[in-house]
């Protein structure tokens, strides 16, 4: 109905063929492409150990999130989303992931949505994650996502169905209130699941048709990988795998390939994420 949104601006300077693709592939479910990348645990473990000695308690999750946020600042097409056939550039950088209050079968889960402006360094991002997770596990979190879900679930089942359909239509018409978008876990730059923490291999998690999340990452458990060294001798090393599902309507294959190479660069040398960015260093999407 309307082209303007509160969470992004429509991109009009695109190639006509690229602009037509969302009208052919109308949903994220039919636009998914999947790729996986292996990363050496030795790099992460060594970096975490060295920074712990300096007073920074980092984790695989915080390094990955910091690397991906930095990637978005340099490769803005990954921060696009498609609604009702139109392609938008997202205004901010949001990451969503699940936090379990404890590692038990019946433990409550809560979705945590973090907002970034792109200038943060790895230590600031780690502190944000750590503080929010502590609040959730101590029962002190003022979580808008959880409040929104509880508000819906207080109603009878027929009303819930009707309200959900209405909200989905509002989003399709670009009439969703800003407060709902900010609380919604389905409106984000990237959705992340850490199955490594529960000792599962990486997965390819589907994208949601509702909302604007164009990328879903899965952090899988560590495994041994055997490869040949320069002397053609077999060597074993520990690696973890990142499974990525992406909406192919937001960028072409070359752009994605170069973006994944940049992500690999950050993941293989997290020290690159220690400096803050200035606003001038953040790359903006085309008009």
Contact 110, 101 (CB under 8 A): yes
The closest alpha carbon to 138, from 97, 101, 98, 96, belongs to 101
Instruction: Answer whether CATH 3.30.559.10 is correct for domain 8-275.
Output: yes
Say yes or no to pLDDT of 23 above 90: yes
Secondary structure of residue 116 in the 3-state scheme: strand
pLDDT tens for 140-191 read: 666 677 777 777 778 888 888 888 898 899 999 999 999 889 989 999 999 9
Identify the burial level of 100 via C-beta atoms within 10 angstroms of its C-beta, where 0-12 means exposed, 13-18 middle and 19 or more buried. middle
Instruction: Tell me the sheet residues that pair with 227.
Output: 235
Q: Find where tokens 């308690």 sit.
A: 57
138: three-class secondary structure by DSSP: coil
Predicted local distance difference test score (pLDDT) of residue 102: 64
pTM for the model:
0.92
Contact between residue 123 and residue 270 where contact means Cβ atoms under 8 Å apart:
no
For the chain, give every domain's residue range: 8-275
Report pLDDT digits (tens) over 219-278. Answer: 999 999 887 667 677 788 999 999 999 999 999 999 999 999 999 999 999 999 999 999
Other CB atoms closer than 10 Å to residue 89's CB: what's the count?
18
State the DSSP code for 269: -
């Amino acid at each position: 109905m309307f082209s303007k949104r509160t969470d992004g601006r429509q991109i009009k300077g695109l190639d006509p063929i690229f602009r037509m693709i969302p009208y052919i592939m109308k949903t994220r479910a039919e636009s998914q492409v999947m790729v996986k990348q292996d990363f050496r645990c030795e790099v992460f473990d060594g970096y975490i150990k060295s920074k712990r000695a300096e007073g920074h308690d980092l984790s695989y999750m915080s390094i990955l999130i910091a690397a991906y946020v930095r990637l978005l600042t340099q490769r803005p097409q990954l921060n696009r989303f498609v609604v009702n056939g139109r392609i938008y550039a997202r205004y901010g950088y949001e990451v969503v992931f699940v936090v379990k209050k404890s590692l038990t079968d019946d433990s409550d889960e809560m979705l945590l949505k973090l907002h970034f402006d792109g200038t943060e360094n790895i230590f600031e991002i780690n502190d944000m994650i750590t503080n929010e997770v502590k609040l959730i596990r101590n029962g002190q979190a003022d979580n808008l996502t959880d409040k929104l879900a509880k508000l819906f679930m207080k109603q009878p089942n027929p009303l819930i169905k009707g309200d959900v359909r209405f909200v989905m239509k509002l989003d399709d018409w670009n009439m969703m209130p800003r407060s709902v978008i900010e609380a919604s876990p389905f409106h984000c730059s990237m959705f992340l699941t850490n199955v490594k923490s529960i000792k599962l291999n990486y997965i390819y998690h589907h994208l949601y048709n509702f909302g604007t999340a164009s990328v879903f990452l899965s952090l899988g458990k560590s495994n041994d990988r055997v490869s040949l060294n320069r002397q053609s001798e077999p060597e074993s090393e520990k690696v973890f795998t990142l499974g990525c599902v992406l909406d192919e309507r937001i960028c072409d294959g070359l752009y994605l390939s170069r973006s994944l190479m940049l992500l690999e660069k950050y993941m293989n040398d997290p020290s690159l994420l220690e400096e803050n960015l200035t606003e001038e260093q953040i790359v903006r999407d085309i008009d």
